[in-house]
Structures are given as C-alpha cells and as structure tokens.
Structure 1
Amino acid sequence: MNPAQPGVEILIAELGYAGFESFVETEEGVTAYIQKEDWNTNILDDIQVLNSEEFNITYTFEEIEQTNWNAEWEKNFNPIVVDNICAVRAPFHDKFDTEFDIIIEPKMSFGTGHHETTHMMIQHILKNDFTNKSVLDMGCGTGVLAILSEMKGANRVDAIDYDNWCYLNSLENVQRNNCKTITVIEGDASVLRNKRYDIIIANINRNILLNDMEVYVSCLNKNGMLFLSGFYEEDIPIIKTKCEKHLLKFEEKLERNNWVSLKFLN
C-alpha cells in the first residue's frame, strides 16, 4: 500500500464496515480477517479506498485452515499481568503472586488477555464492583472475562459465543479454573430472550455491537453496567450515538493502541 498512511486507517475502517473482524498492521499494509461464511469475492466492491486514485493498493486473499493453536501458542505465549492485580497464564507457567490468577488455554479461541480489547476489559472488571452481580460475557472467546467476573464475586455468569471452538474451549477453561457460577452457552444474541443481567460485557466487533445493541439493552437491569470493546477510536461516535439512543449514559473510556473500550450505565 502506498502511501501507507492514512491509507491503512481508511482501509481498516471500510473493511470493518464490510464485516471484517480483526486486523494486523504489517510493514506492507494490513492483514484483515473475516469469517469464511461472511466472505465472498464481491465484498470488496464497496471498499472505496481500493478504487481510489490517491492510493496504490494491491491485495491477495486465502482461506486459513482450522488449526489447533496449542503448540504454536505454547512456543510463543508469555503470561501477562494486568495492573499488578490479575495474571493470565498457561497451565505450564508458574503461579503469579497476584490477587487473581487465571489459567487459560485458548486453542482456536480469542481472548488470552494479550489483545488490547481483552486487556482493557480485564481492567474494567478489576475497577468495578461485581459482588453478587449477574453477568453476561457476550462473545466469550476463551471465557477469561467470565472467569474473572466470578473471581470478582459475580453470583451468576452466562458466557456466550456462537463459535463452537470458543464454546468448547470456554467449557474447558471454566472447569480448569474451578468456576461454579458460570454457564457456557453456544449461540448468538438470539439466545438472550427473557434473560436479565446487572452487567453485560461485549467484546466483539463494531458491526455486531451495533446490530445487537437493542437486545443488550433489553437484557440490562436498571442501574446496570455495559462494557463494550472490539473497535477503534474513530468508531466511538457511532457507538455512543447508538447507546444514547437507548438512553444509556456514557461513563468511561479506556484506550490502548487506538483500540478503545467504553463503559455505559443504564
């Protein structure tokens, strides 16, 4: 891509609108990921920057085979400590002298704490009162946020993900951390009918958050807290507008490498 800036930022924004879920900036430009079932060759037709005379952009695409990531992860994964309070580590790492110690094996799942969005969500959980609260971890990935919610005192936690790998991995990690109050559910926002929560955690991506916001709000108890992440600084206006439309009050923003996480109150 030439020029790289602001080309990369524009391209990421447009790909996000088109349904791409995650991005890795490289020396050449950006690698973007989308679920196989959401991909078709025509999806790039609406990406205006690809046809702009201001930028010279070439691209290729390939299908990534399902892989058991354990071996690769063990070779490269280092434990993390968030705010000197919460450690996220693998079973083969030594225990940390922290208040909260979470053991995770991600396999095909997202959410080891290394990604900026998961890191910020952990910070939110650490800073807020979860005692005797009912909690929804939407798009739970490895289940790390659900596990920390229980450790923080939540008395009922639903961990939901539509991806079967994430569902199975969360079940394993919940058992690995001896959790008692977490129910892992395979599905999307449609499974939330008639459910109510004091706290909702949704670390997904901007498009899904916007699409499912009405469902989240319908499930959130009065004076409840909503934590959102999975989007960029430039996405904040559209996220805030959607939340304020449903009478949610903006409370706090965390930022990490242009990724953001927002807290709203009902």
Structure 2
Amino acid sequence: MNNLWQKLTITAEKKILEIISADIIQVSNGIIDTDSSHIHFIENKDLEFIKKKLNKYNYFHFKFQFEEQKRENWHLAWKENFTKININNKLNIIPDWDNSEYHQKTIKIKPGMAFGTGHHETTYLILEQLVEKILPNMSVLDLGCGSGILSIAAKKLGAGNVTAVELDTECKENFNENLFLNNFKNEVSTHYMDVLKWDDYNYDIILANINKSIIKKLIVLLSEKPVSKVFLTGLLIDDKSEVISLIEENNFNIECIKSKGEWLLIIIDKSFDYE
C-alpha cells in the first residue's frame, strides 16, 4: 500500500460543504468537519475522480486544495479537532487519549481511516435516537459500520446481538482498535462485504448511515422483509421528498424525521399482516 495520500481541504459556507462532501464521501477515508471547512483524506488512485466531482460544482463559491500527507499523520491531525461529545446527557464520545472519569456511559474512539467519530451530523442523529429507543438485549444490525461507533454505542446501551457490515476493509484495523478500547473485543460480529448482499434482516433495529444511492436500493431491498425499525441517514435535507416518496411507494411507515444542519435522519418500520 502507498504510504501517502491526499489531504483535501474544502472551504465554503456550511450548506455548500455539506452538499460537496455528501457527493465525495463514498471515496473519502475520513472527514474532519469544522465550521468553515471540511478536510477529506483521499487515496491517490481516487484523485482524478474527486477533481471531476469538484469541477461539477463550479457554480458554487468555494475553494479547495490538495496536500500530500503521510498516512500516519491522520491520528495527529484529529488531536487538533476532536472534543468530547455528549448525547442527551446519557452517552459521551471521547478520543482515546482522554483519560478523564465521566459519570455517563462513555465510548472511546481512536480517530482513524474509518468514518465515524460522532462529530458528523449523521452519526450524531443516529446516536441521539439510539440512546432513547434501544432497550436491553435488543439485536442491532449496523450497515456501513465504518469505525464501529454505532455498534459500540449499541453495546454500551445494552444491546445483545450486534452485527456490523462494512464493504471497506481499510476500516477493519480501526474498527478492531475501537472494540478493544471499549472492552468489546469479540462481542460484535463483523462482516466485510457489500451491505446490499447481506441477507439477514431479523434484527430489532437496523442502522444505515450510508450514501443516498445505497439508501434508496436498501429501501427497495427491505420492502419485502419483516423488518422492525430502520434508521436511515447519510441523507441531505434536499433529498427529503425523493426519499420519502420511495419509502411510501414501498409501504413503510415513517416513525419520525429528524434533522441537524443540512442532514436528515428518517426512522421507518413495516407492519406485516400474517392473517
């Protein structure tokens, strides 16, 4: 593996940042989100793809620059930006170098190549609902698990069987590190494969923090499955009408819709009549 990658810094208004980042997140190995910029870490092989994506938005007012960086600098870069996150006064997310004592349940995360530290709105939206809706020993399926933060949160909040599915094997080391940091080694069943090829949906809660394209295919895929609650995010507010139409076409019930910044979370379920 090449020991270098591209650090891409995009500077713009918040809404523009969210739109562009949503379009390139599929090939981003992680994102640092500040008020005025998004920093992505990009493989050299994806550089031309990213440039084409950025050029597509030439009608927006934004700036970007690429900087070659050693991979091992990732964790150090996060130390400048990672602060504690508190979810509903019930759950804390802290970096692995924070050794403070907290009264609430606490998750330690080592920032790595995997997406998911709790700072991004989509992760926060799911965590905010998860702390309120999960019950002891519930089963949870985490699709597109990234760093494992949602799987770990589910375990911290009392879930029983937790299964995580992720296509990108680059996430594996970081996922395992985070499981170890939180004393959940070997307690989450992990599978590295296309989430759309996963075929067991017999879980109390399904989490899907992925991009809109995959979310749309997942809605259709789940339409004939006896699923319980499905948390869908990775969606922009601008996607709302399109995604809701697809949800309704596939006979799901919408339990709630939440938003944070430019991002959207939709929780759906399906009632089956077996008579």
TM-score by length of 1: 0.78
Q: What residue is the counterpart of 2:118 in the other structure?
A: 113
Indicate conservation of the 8 Å contact 1:192/1:215, yes or no. no
CA distance in 2, matches of 1:14, 1:106: 19
Q: What residue is the counterpart of 1:16 in the other structure?
A: 23
Residue ranges of structure 2 left out of the alignment (5+ in a row)? 1-11, 271-275
Shift of the alpha carbon at 1:248? Answer: 1.1
Residue ranges of structure 1 left out of the alignment (5+ in a row)? none
Query: Structure 2 vs 1, CA of residues 90 and 62 (structure 1 numbering), >3 Å: closer, same or farther?
Result: closer
Corresponding residue SS for 1:153: coil
- The structure 1 residue matched to 2:83, chosen from 78, 82, 100, is 78
> Which of 1 and 2 has higher RCO (CA within 8 Å, sep 6+)?
2
Query: Structure 2 vs 1, CA of residues 75 and 13 (structure 1 numbering), >3 Å: closer, same or farther?
Result: closer
CA distance in 2, matches of 1:18, 1:107: 15
Query: Structure 2 vs 1, CA of residues 249 and 259 (structure 1 numbering), >3 Å: closer, same or farther?
Result: same
In the TM superposition, what are the counterparts of 1:205-244 in structure 2 within 5 Å?
205-217=211-223, 221-222=226-227, 224-244=228-248
CA distance in 1, matches of 2:75, 2:51: 34
Indicate conservation of the 8 Å contact 1:105/1:173, yes or no. yes
Indicate conservation of the 8 Å contact 2:22/2:211, yes or no. no
Shift of the alpha carbon at 1:247? Answer: 1.4
Structure 1, residues 214-240: CA drift from partner, whole Å, max 9, x if none?
A: 33445x544x00101112111111111
CA distance in 1, matches of 2:46, 2:27: 12
Q: What residue is the counterpart of 2:127 in the other structure?
A: 122
Q: What residue is the counterpart of 1:250 in the other structure?
A: 254
Q: Which moved more, 1:172-181 or 1:84-93?
A: 172-181
Structure 1, residues 175-226: CA drift from partner, whole Å, max 9, x if none?
A: 22122641122122244124532211011121221133333445x544x001
Structure 1, residues 88-117: CA drift from partner, whole Å, max 9, x if none?
A: 11232113111x211110211111111111
Indicate conservation of the 8 Å contact 1:139/1:162, yes or no. yes
Shift of the alpha carbon at 1:149? Answer: 1.0
Corresponding residue SS for 1:242: helix
Indicate conservation of the 8 Å contact 1:19/1:207, yes or no. no
Aligned residue pair count:
253
CA distance in 2, matches of 1:23, 1:103: 17
CA distance in 2, matches of 1:23, 1:240: 29
Indicate conservation of the 8 Å contact 1:12/1:23, yes or no. no
CA distance in 2, matches of 1:196, 1:38: 39
CA distance in 2, matches of 1:249, 1:200: 15
* Partner AA of 2:242 in structure 1: I
Corresponding residue SS for 1:40: helix
* Partner AA of 2:168 in structure 1: D
In the TM superposition, what are the counterparts of 1:104-253 in structure 2 within 5 Å?
104-179=109-184, 181-217=187-223, 221-222=226-227, 224-253=228-257
Query: Structure 2 vs 1, CA of residues 168 and 216 (structure 1 numbering), >3 Å: closer, same or farther?
Result: farther
CA distance in 1, matches of 2:54, 2:115: 29
TM-score by length of 2: 0.75
* Partner AA of 1:16 in structure 2: D
- The structure 2 residue matched to 1:262, chosen from 261, 266, 270, is 266
Root-mean-square deviation (CA), in Å? 3.6
Query: Structure 2 vs 1, CA of residues 106 and 236 (structure 1 numbering), >3 Å: closer, same or farther?
Result: same
Q: What residue is the counterpart of 2:273 in the other structure?
A: none
Corresponding residue SS for 1:137: strand
Q: What residue is the counterpart of 1:96 in the other structure?
A: 102
CA distance in 2, matches of 1:175, 1:129: 22
